[in-house]
A and B are shown apart, each in its own frame.
Chain A
Amino acid sequence: MIKRVLIVGGGVAGTMVANRLAKSMPKEVYDGKLEIMLLTDSVQHIYQPGFLFIAFNEGFLEQFQKDQRELLHPKINLIIDRAKIIDVKKGRVVTEKHSFNYDFLVIATGSYPDMNSVPGLAEAGHTFYTPEGAVKLRDAMLNFKGGTLLLTIDVPHKCPVAPLEFIFMADDFYRQLGIREKVKLKYTYPIGRVHSMEAIASWAVREFEKRGIEYEVYFNLEKVDPAKKLAYTMDGSEHPFDLLVSVPAHRGAQVVKDSGLGDEDGFIPTDRYTLKMEGQDNVYVVGDATNLPVSKAGSTAHYEADVVVKNIICELKGIPPSHRYDGKAFCFVETGLKEATYITFNYKQPPQLVPSSEMLHWFKISYNEIYWLAARGIL
């Protein structure tokens, strides 16, 4: 009897799960005993870390996207359609015109930056977390002749080191353009230090002081007045800006909310080790879609995908799924336009920072291309 693994979402997590599963079970796939179906609403697959480079005019969108079909194993059944309801009780996913049953479901529906999460933000602020936002911000940054560039950060958000990368790259960017002395760079963070990880925060403060980047902690944005160019925070204070760049709160996918599967932000309660949706034995959740207290980042999705694929293979073979996710993440951190560092950590091991170097920057730039091997399930 044919078994069907249905994957909803064609981002990092969904694409890796589909390809790794197809490559790991070639006999079953070619004999028609296993159908791997990937349901996504986009014909394009976008490498999201590229947005940061687009914002600084260091790359263009076409460099960071490929046709989804081109990335997938030829035996994966790609369906381009929008999932409207995920019905885990009946074991099916419903789109506008179709309904797909499954034996195993993998929910990889991701998250999106919600610029409407704070009143006035969508009108007044820029973000580099979407392709159109990164292009719009690039133009604004190139036309910026001086004043205060204010960076605000909300939770939860993808890639927790990206705001630091942004401000360091902005420092280099305006030095390169010769107008750094006219640009006041102001970085903010919601808690009592400039990053949630103490080691990163201590390092970043030293860098801020060295580079003349201003920073403010306990900064929790509550509303923005686009006409007056003022940002207001939870403690009642106001903050002027000339260019507002924001990392807004992220939310889970609409289909998760519409299906009643998520918490108040649309993230799905997930077992932190098995990655199964709570209360559902044949449903896995990977990537940003989970409610896990780990970074919403491509590397997290990558390591989670490894675990999910191994466990699905076990279950298809009738073996208990014994693989466990240990919370692992690995993040490059661009510390300027020509240098980078990295951090890695898991549920038990806190991160250690290594010194920045040009070599690590080139490794990161190389990974922008190597990524396509990872998405194909090769790396």
Chain B
Amino acid sequence: MSEEVIITKTIDARGSYCPGPLMELVKAIKRGQVGDVYELLSSDSGSAKDVPEWVNKMGHELIYCKPEGDFWRIAVRKTK
């Protein structure tokens, strides 16, 4: 049974190279509360690798990471 994910905030980082989508996500997670879910939209295919790696390293939770048209939709829950 799938649980419905409530998105706290969607970050549209499509077209961002500098500082880049992952840096936009890092910013949001640092400012957020434990339990918040951030959905990142990224047109950089590197995000599909970079974001899960960062999330894993920092101990947060990757909810999904999926392609949609010409961009990626990635959701992360802040766990600590």
- In B35-58, which residues have CB < 8 Å from any A CB? 46, 50, 53-54, 57-58
State whether the Cβ of A31 lies closer than 8 Å to any Cβ in chain B.
no
Task: Say yes or no: B58 contacts A155, CB within 8 Å.
Answer: no
Inter-chain residue pair count (beta carbon < 8 A): 77
Q: Which residues of A contact B50 (CB under 8 A)?
A: 191-192
Residue tally, chain B, CB below 8 Å to A: 25
State whether the Cβ of A317 lies closer than 8 Å to any Cβ in chain B.
no
A contacts with B: majority SS: loop
How far is it, in angstroms, between the C-alpha of A102 and the C-alpha of B54 when the chains are bound? 46
State whether the Cβ of B69 lies closer than 8 Å to any Cβ in chain A.
no
State whether the Cβ of B5 lies closer than 8 Å to any Cβ in chain A.
no
Query: Which of A49-57, A343-351, A371-379 has 4 or more CB atoms under 8 Å from chain B?
Result: A343-351
Task: Say yes or no: A220 contacts B58, CB within 8 Å.
Answer: yes
From B49, which residue of chain A is reached at the shortest CB distance? A192
How far is it, in angstroms, between the C-alpha of A345 and the C-alpha of B22 when the chains are bound? 18
State whether the Cβ of B66 lies closer than 8 Å to any Cβ in chain A.
no
Q: Which residues of B contact A192 (CB under 8 A)?
A: 50, 53-54, 57
State whether the Cβ of A249 lies closer than 8 Å to any Cβ in chain B.
yes
- In A267-297, which residues have CB < 8 Å from any B CB? 272, 293-295
- In B1-60, which residues have CB < 8 Å from any A CB? 11-24, 26-27, 30-31, 46, 50, 53-54, 57-59
Task: Say yes or no: B17 contacts A191, CB within 8 Å.
Answer: no
CB distance from B52 to the nearest CB of A (A): 10
Residue tally, chain A, CB below 8 Å to B: 32
CB distance from B31 to the nearest CB of A (A): 5
How far is it, in angstroms, between the C-alpha of A161 and the C-alpha of B57 when the chains are bound? 24
State whether the Cβ of A327 lies closer than 8 Å to any Cβ in chain B.
yes
Contacts A196-B23, A249-B30, A293-B13 given; indicate if A160 touches B18 (C-beta within 8 A): yes
CB distance from A223 to the nearest CB of B (A): 13
Contacts A198-B46, A220-B26, A293-B12 given; indicate if A156 touches B54 (C-beta within 8 A): no
CB distance from A80 to the nearest CB of B (A): 33
- In A78-109, which residues have CB < 8 Å from any B CB? none
Contacts A196-B18, A293-B21 given; indicate if A218 touches B57 (C-beta within 8 A): yes
Q: Which residues of A contact B46 (CB under 8 A)?
A: 198
How far is it, in angstroms, between the C-alpha of A234 and the C-alpha of B16 when the chains are bound? 25
Contacts A293-B15, A345-B17 given; indicate if A155 touches B57 (C-beta within 8 A): no
Q: Which residues of B contact A350 (CB under 8 A)?
A: 17
Task: Say yes or no: B59 contacts A155, CB within 8 Å.
Answer: no
| A-B CB contact pairs (8 Å), 6 listed | A154-B30, A155-B23, A190-B23, A196-B18, A293-B24, A351-B17
Binding site for A on B (CB under 8 A): 11-24, 26-27, 30-31, 46, 50, 53-54, 57-59
In the complex, given contacts A191-B26, A272-B15, A351-B18, what are 5 additional A-B residue pairs having Cβ atoms less than 8 angstroms apart? Answer: A155-B27, A197-B20, A218-B57, A235-B59, A346-B15
